[in-house]
Amino acid sequence: MIMDWAAGGAFVVGTGLDASRGNLLDGTPCWIELVTTNVDKACEFYAGLFGWEYETHHDPRAGLHVIAAHEGFPVASIRDSADGRSQWRLFLAAADSARTAAEAGKLGAQIIVPRSRVPELGVKLVLTSPAGDEFGLLEPDPSWQFDVGLPGTLVWAELVTIKAQTADHFYAELFGYTAEQFGTEHRTGYEVWYLDEDSVLARVSMIREHMSAEARPHWLLYLGVDEEVGTDELVHRVVALDGRIRVDPYDSSLGRVAVLRDPTGARFAIVDPSQASEYGTAGNDDPYDD
């Protein structure tokens, strides 16, 4: 069974990932990319964790670009880091990436990676928002494919930031997100963003007393866990593959979650949605520090 983002960004059951660009609203998550200090080590880790397979492209401008696939469908790209940091990036759909980037600039964003074309993926660029986080824009090619909602693929994403109001205003103005605030007894800074009444992303407010001097705003990407394996067992696999545990497995409204780092230092989360609990936390417990 293949999952696809339909119009509005909701997960729906489909027969394949051949969705046209016309079905993607601007602001819909449509790609993820790992920039890493060690491409070979990262590829080995995620292949061992999720069974990803790879196709390597050599771009004269952008350099080495590895496309990861899960069971034959594209799920992510992996490339060298230019600043000595390893991190996951989230890309949001933009039917006209140049126009959307210009609008983002008027709202205080800055381009940090200029527009480039990736064959069979599309035109992409990376910006920093006024809240300090990095995000990408992707203008998908007609041949674009992106598998989501399954084990080893993107399931959910959260922006973790100290500048919550700035982030809320920027992304709402840029993409027209509407929002709903959620919270628990101990946590009130969790906001879900919607397109056409379908939830697409969330924003988490950093808690000052949990922050270190090195803490940076970041997107936390959740990759799916096979329910036959389970989050706890997959965490054991992470450790065996030289990854690190940032937050031990816990139950949440998203499912059974753990926050991890790969061997190159990139932070990500795993989640088993089959274990979603109405009594769990509303958001992650990412400790923020690097």
pLDDT of residue 206: 79
> Across residues 259-279, what is the average pLDDT?
92
The full set of domain ranges for the chain reads 2-140, 154-275
* Residue-wise pLDDT tens digits, 112-151: 999 998 888 999 999 999 999 999 999 999 989 999 999 9
**pLDDT for the residue numbered 189:** 83
154-275 in CATH: which number?
3.10.180.10
Q: Which of 93, 95, 53 is nearest to 75 (CA)?
A: 53
What pTM, to 2 d.p., does this model score? 0.88
Q: What is the pLDDT of residue 69?
A: 97
**CATH of segment(s) 2-140:** 3.10.180.10
Q: Give 223 or 3, the one with higher predicted confidence.
A: 223
Q: State residue 14's pLDDT score.
A: 27
- β-pairing, 134-140 with 63-70? unpaired
What's the chain's length in residues? 290
Strand partners of residue 134? 128
The pLDDT confidence band at residue 57, using thresholds 50, 70 and 90, is confident
pLDDT at 193: 97
| One fold for 2-140 and 154-275 | yes
